[in-house]
C-alpha cells in the first residue's frame, strides 16, 4: 500500500514538473498558500506555545539530523538573490577552506555519535571550489561510513577533472544543484557570471553518468528561476538534457519565493517573476533553524547553516570543534542562551527580520523526541 501511495505521489510530482501550465499554476498558488499557512501557524502559536522547559531536553544535536560541514565559504558565482556578492564587496566575510584535519574531526565525532547525514554545503560558497572536496567526500563515505553524504553545488565545476564522475564513483548520496534556469542571458544576469555553458554541461554529464551507473545518487535540481517554470520546462535544454533523466531519485523543483538573508536582499535585487517571501510578524518562539549545527571552515560551530547577513562569524557562533566536542557545544550554555533568548524577544543579528524564520511546533517536537 505504501509503495502504491509513493508511486502515485511521484507520478503527480512528475506530472506537475514536466507540464508548463500546471507547474506555473502550482507554483503561483504555492506562494499564496504558504503565506496563509504561515499566518495561520503564527496565529496558532500565539495560543499554543512550546515552553523553554519542554524543548530544553531535545535541543542538542540529534544523530538522525544533518551535520553541516561547510568546506569552504568561497563561491564562483555572484547571485543577485544571495548575500554572498554583497558581503564580499563590503569585505565583511572572511573566506577560507576547511583543512582536512578539521573536517575529519567533525566527521569522526559525528560518526561516533551515530550521525547519519552529513552535508558539505556552507552557508555561502560552493563546496566544489575546495580543491580537497573529493578527499573529504571519500573520507566521509568510505572511511567514516556516514550513511548519506550530500552537497549543494551551482554545477559550474562539475566538469572540471571529471568531478561529476568522481562524486558518483566515491558514493555520494545526494547532489543538490542550485541553478538559474535554461536561458543563458538570464543566467548571466541572475548568477552574475558567464558560466552557463559550464553549468549546463556539468548537469548533463552528472545526470547521464548517474543514470548509466544505475542511479546510485539522488540528484535534485533546484531552479532559482527568474522565468516562469513553463519557460524552463519547454526549453530545448530541459527537454533534451534534463527531462529524460527524471525519476523518483532525480527530480527538479522551482523556487516559490526568495528570502531576504536577514534584510541583506531587498526587492530591488531580484527580477522577472522572482518574488520576495512575505512573513507575518515574528513571534517570541525559537526558529527550527537554531537546532541545526554547522561547522565553519575554521572549526567554528554556528547555529543555523542556512543564512547570514554580514558574516558567518557572527552571534550565532557557539563554539569551535578545535576546542570542544560537538556534543559539548550543542549542549552548552551559549547555544541554549540563543534559543532561550527568543522567548524574551532577543534575536541574533541574522535572525532579526529573517523571512526564513520558521517557529518550532508540536510536529517539530515530535521529530526531535527519542525514538522518532
Ligand atoms: S546562491 Fe550559492 S552559488 Fe549563488 S552566490 Fe550564493 S553561495 Fe554562490
Ligand atoms: S530566523 Fe533565519 S537566520 Fe535565524 S535561525 Fe531561523 S532561518 Fe536561521
Distance 76 CA to ligand 1 centre (A): 8
Place of cell 527538479: 252
pLDDT tens column, 189-239: 999 999 999 999 999 999 999 999 999 999 999 999 999 999 999 999 999
Distance 258 CA to ligand 1 centre (A): 13
Q: Is 287 in the pocket of ligand 2 (CB under 6 A)?
A: yes
Atom of ligand 1 nearest to the CA of 154: 3
- Whole-structure pTM value: 0.94
Q: Is 285 in the pocket of ligand 2 (CB under 6 A)?
A: no
Place of cell 547532489: 175
Q: How far is CA 328 from the centre of its chain?
A: 25
Q: Is 178 in the pocket of ligand 1 (CB under 6 A)?
A: yes
Query: Which residue's CA is the closest to the ligand 1 atom numbered 1?
Result: 82
Q: Does the pLDDT value for residue 296 go beyond 70?
A: yes
Q: How far is CA 48 from the centre of its chain?
A: 29
| Sequential DSSP letters for 240-268 | HHTGGG-SSSEEEEE-S-B--GGGTS-GG
- Ligand closest to 126 (CA) is 1
Q: Is 356 in the pocket of ligand 2 (CB under 6 A)?
A: yes
pLDDT tens column, 246-281: 999 999 999 999 999 999 999 999 999 999 998 877
Atom of ligand 2 nearest to the CA of 350: 3
Give the range among 3-7, 90-94, 226-230, 275-279 with minimum mean pLDDT.
Answer: 3-7
Distance 78 CA to ligand 1 centre (A): 6
Cα gap 195→254, rounded to integer Å = 20
Average pLDDT, the chain: 94
Q: Does the pLDDT value for residue 241 go beyond 90?
A: yes
Query: Which residue's CA is the closest to the ligand 2 atom numbered 5?
Result: 289
Q: What percent helix, strand, coil does the chain show, rounded to 5?
A: 45, 15, 40
Backbone angles phi, psi at 235, to 5 degrees: -70, 155
Amino acid at each position: 500500500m505504501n509503495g502504491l501511495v509513493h508511486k502515485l505521489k511521484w507520478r503527480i510530482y512528475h506530472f506537475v514538473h514536466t507540464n508548463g501550465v500546471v507547474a506555473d499554476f502550482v507554483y503561483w498558488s504555492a506562494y499564496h498558500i504558504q503565506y496563509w499557512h504561515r499566518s495561520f501557524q503564527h496565529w496558532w502559536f500565539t495560543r499554543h506555545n512550546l515552553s523553554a522547559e519542554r524543548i530544553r531536553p531535545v535541543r542538542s544535536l540529534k544523530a538522525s539530523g544533518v551535520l553541516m560541514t561547510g568546506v569552504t565559504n568561497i563561491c564562483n558565482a555572484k547571485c543577485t538573490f544571495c548575500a554572498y556578492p554583497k558581503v564580499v564587496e563590503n569585505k565583511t566575510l572572511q573566506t577560507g577552506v576547511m583543512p582536512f584535519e578539521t573536517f575529519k574531526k567533525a566527521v569522526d565525532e559525528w560518526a561516533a555519535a551515530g550521525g547519519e547525514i552529513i552535508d558539505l554545503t556552507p552557508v555561502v560558497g560552493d563546496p566544489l571550489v575546495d580543491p580537497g572536496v573529493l578527499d573529504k567526500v571519500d573520507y566521509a563515505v568510505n572511511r567514516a561510513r556516514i550513511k548519506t553524504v550530500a552537497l549543494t553545488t551551482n554545477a559550474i565545476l562539475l566538469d572540471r577533472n571529471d568531478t561529476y564522475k568522481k562524486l558518483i564513483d566515491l558514493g555520494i548520496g545526494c547532489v543538490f544543484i542550485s541553478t538559474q534556469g535554461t536561458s543563458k542571458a538570464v543566467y548571466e544576469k541572475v548568477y552574475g557570471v558567464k558560466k552557463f555553458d559550464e553549468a549546463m554541461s556539468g548537469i548533463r554529464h552528472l545526470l547521464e553518468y548517474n543514470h548509466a551507473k544505475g542511479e546510485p545518487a539522488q540528484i535534485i535540481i533546484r531552479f532559482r528561476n527568474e522565468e516562469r517554470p513553463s519557460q524552463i520546462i519547454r526549453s530545448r535544454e530541459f527537454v533534451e538534457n534534463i527531462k529524460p533523466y527524471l525519476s523518483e531519485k532525480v527530480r527538479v523543483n522551482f523556487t516559490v519565493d526568495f528570502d531576504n538573508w536577514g534584510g541583506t536582499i531587498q526587492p530591488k535585487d531580484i527580477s522577472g517573476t522572482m518574488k520576495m517571501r512575505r512573513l507575518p510578524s515574528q513571534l517570541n518562539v525559537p526558529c527550527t533553524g537554531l537546532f541545526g549545527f554547522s561547522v565553519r571552515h575554521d572549526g567554528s560551530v554556528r547555529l543555523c547553516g542556512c543564512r547570514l547577513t554580514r558574516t558567518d562569524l557572527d552571534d550565532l557562533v557557539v563554539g569551535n570543534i578545535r576546542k570542544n566536542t560537538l556534543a559539548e557545544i550543542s549542549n552548552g550554555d551559549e547555544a541554549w542562551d540563543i534559543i532561550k533568548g527568543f522567548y524574551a524577544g532577543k534575536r541574533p543579528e541574522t535572525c532579526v527580520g529573517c523571512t526564513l524564520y520558521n517557529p518550532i511546533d508540536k510536529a517539530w517536537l515530535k521529530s526531535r523526541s527519542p525514538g522518532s
